[in-house]
Chain A
Amino acid sequence: MGKGLLSSMMHLTPLRDLVFDSTDYSEKKETIFQTLASLITSLLCILIIITSSSIWIDGTLEDGSVKENARWSHLKPAYDYISEQTSDDVIFVGSSRFFSGIDGRCFEDNSTHDNASYWNLAIRGDFPYLRLPESDTLSSTNAKVVVIEAGLNTFNSGIGTRDDYLRWEVESLSFDFDGDESWWDLIDPIHHSYLADSISERFDIRQQFSPEAADEIAHRLLLFGGSRAMQDRDGAMPELNSIDWPESLKNPPRNSENLLSKEEMRIYVNDAAKSSFWKPSSDTHLNYMSLNHIVESLENNGITVIFYSPPVHPDFLQAIPSGHWDEFNLSIESIQTNSSYFIDQTFDIWDSNSFTDPVHFSYLGRDKVCSSVGSIIDSILMEL
Chain B
Amino acid sequence: MSFNFTSPEYYFLFLPFCLFLTILIPRDKKSLQISILCIMSYLFFILASGWHILLLLISTLVDWNAAKKINNSTNISIRKRWLKFSIIVNLTLLATFKYLDFIIKSLGWWSLELGYSPIIDAPNLLLPVGISFYTFQTMSYTIDIYRKKYQPANSLLDFACYAAFFPQLVAGPIVRFDYFNEQIKKPLITNNASFRLAITLIVYGLFKKMIFADNFALHVDAIFYTGAPLDNVIIIYWGALLFGLQIYCDFSAYTDIAIGSAYLFGIKLPENFKGPYGAKSPKEFWRRWHISLSTWLRDYLYISLGGSRNGIKRMYVALMITMVLGGLWHGASWNFALWGLFHGLILVIHRLISTNNISKIVLKKFPICYNLTSLIITQWLIFLSWLIFRIEDNSMLFRSIKSYLFMDVNFDYVEAFEYLPGLQWLMIFLVIIFALLHGLSTSQNSEIKYSLAKLKLPYWSLLIGLMLGLIWLLRPQESSEFIYFRF
A-to-B contact residues, CB < 8 Å = 1-7, 18-21, 24-30, 34-35, 37-39, 41-46, 48-50, 53, 207-208, 210-212, 214-215, 218-219, 222
Contact = CB atoms under 8 A, between A and B. Distances in A.
A208 B473 CA distance: 8
Contacts of B475: 207, 211
B85 interface: no
B419 to A, nearest CB: 16
Interface in B402-437: 422-426, 428-429
26 contacts: A1-B445, A4-B446, A19-B455, A20-B454, A25-B454, A26-B194, A28-B192, A29-B193, A30-B192, A30-B193, A37-B461, A38-B461, A42-B461, A42-B464, A42-B468, A45-B464, A45-B466, A46-B469, A49-B466, A49-B473, A50-B469, A50-B472, A207-B472, A208-B477, A215-B425, A218-B426
Contact of B193 (A26, A48, A214): A26
B23 interface: no
A215 B456 contact: no
A158 B94 CA distance: 51
A21 B455 contact: yes
A6 B473 contact: no
A232 to B, nearest CB: 17
Contacts of A222: 425
Given A7-B451, A38-B461, A38-B464, 20 more contacts: A1-B445, A2-B443, A4-B446, A6-B448, A6-B451, A21-B455, A25-B193, A25-B196, A25-B453, A28-B193, A29-B193, A30-B193, A30-B196, A38-B458, A43-B465, A45-B468, A46-B472, A49-B466, A215-B422, A215-B423
Secondary structure dominating the interface of B: helix
Nearest to A39: B461
Given A4-B443, A25-B197, A41-B461, A18 B469 contact: no
Given A30-B457, A211-B215, A45 B425 contact: no
B249 to A, nearest CB: 16
B474 interface: yes
Contacts of B470: 49
Contacts of B428: 218
Contacts of A37: 457, 461
B469 A20 contact: no
B440 interface: yes
The 9 closest A-B pairs by CB, nearest first: A45-B465, A49-B469, A4-B444, A38-B461, A218-B425, A42-B465, A41-B461, A215-B426, A4-B443
**Residue in A30, A41, A50 whose Cβ sees the most chain B Cβ within 10 Å:** A41
A4 B446 CA distance: 9
A44 B465 contact: yes
Nearest to B200: A25
A215 B465 contact: no
B215 to A, nearest CB: 7
**Residue in A53, A207, A211 whose Cβ sees the most chain B Cβ within 10 Å:** A211
Contacts of A207: 472-473, 475
B460 interface: yes
A3 B446 CA distance: 11
B456 A20 contact: yes
Secondary structure dominating the interface of A: helix
**Residue in B197, B462, B469, B475 whose Cβ sees the most chain A Cβ within 10 Å:** B469
Contacts of B187: none
Nearest to B440: A6
B476 interface: yes
B193 A45 contact: no
Contacts of A43: 465
B459 interface: yes
Contact of A7 (B194, B197, B422, B444): B444
A220 to B, nearest CB: 9
Contacts of A39: 461
Given A1-B445, A21-B455, A41 B465 contact: yes
Contacts of B425: 215, 218-219, 222
Contacts of A5: 439-440, 443-444
A49 B426 contact: no
Contacts of B460: 38
A282 to B, nearest CB: 39
Contacts of A26: 193-194, 197
Nearest to A51: B469
Interface string B192-214: 11101100000000000000000
A6 to B, nearest CB: 5
B462 A45 contact: yes
A285 B475 CA distance: 38
B476 A27 contact: no
Nearest to A10: B451
Contacts of A6: 440, 444, 448, 451
Given A4-B443, A27-B193, A49-B465, A211 B472 contact: no
Contacts of B193: 25-30
Contacts of A42: 461-462, 464-465, 468
Nearest to A26: B193
A49 B472 contact: yes
**Residue in A24, A35, A45, A207 whose Cβ sees the most chain B Cβ within 10 Å:** A45
Contacts of A35: 192
Given A1-B445, A25-B193, A25-B196, A218 B461 contact: no
**Residue in A25, A218, A222 whose Cβ sees the most chain B Cβ within 10 Å:** A25
Interface in B168-222: 192-194, 196-197, 215
A210 B474 contact: yes
Contacts of B451: 6-7, 20
A30 to B, nearest CB: 5
A20 B465 contact: no
Contact of B459 (A19, A30, A46, A53): A19
B462 A41 contact: yes
A50 B462 contact: no
A34 B215 contact: no
**Residue in B196, B459, B461 whose Cβ sees the most chain A Cβ within 10 Å:** B461
A182 to B, nearest CB: 32
A25 B477 CA distance: 36
Contact of B443 (A1, A30, A211): A1
Nearest to B477: A208
A38 B455 CA distance: 12
Given A25-B454, A26-B193, A214 B462 contact: no
A25 B454 CA distance: 6
A9 B286 CA distance: 30
Given A6-B440, A25-B197, A53-B473, A211 B461 contact: no
Nearest to B278: A1
A34 B456 CA distance: 11
Nearest to B450: A25
**Residue in A26, A30, A49, A219 whose Cβ sees the most chain B Cβ within 10 Å:** A49
A1 B462 CA distance: 31
A39 B462 CA distance: 9
A218 B448 contact: no
Contacts of A20: 451, 454-456
B210 to A, nearest CB: 11
A211 B468 contact: no
A212 B423 contact: yes
Contacts of B194: 26
Nearest to A24: B454
B429 A41 contact: no
A128 to B, nearest CB: 29
Given A41-B461, A45-B465, A214 B444 contact: no
Nearest to B468: A46
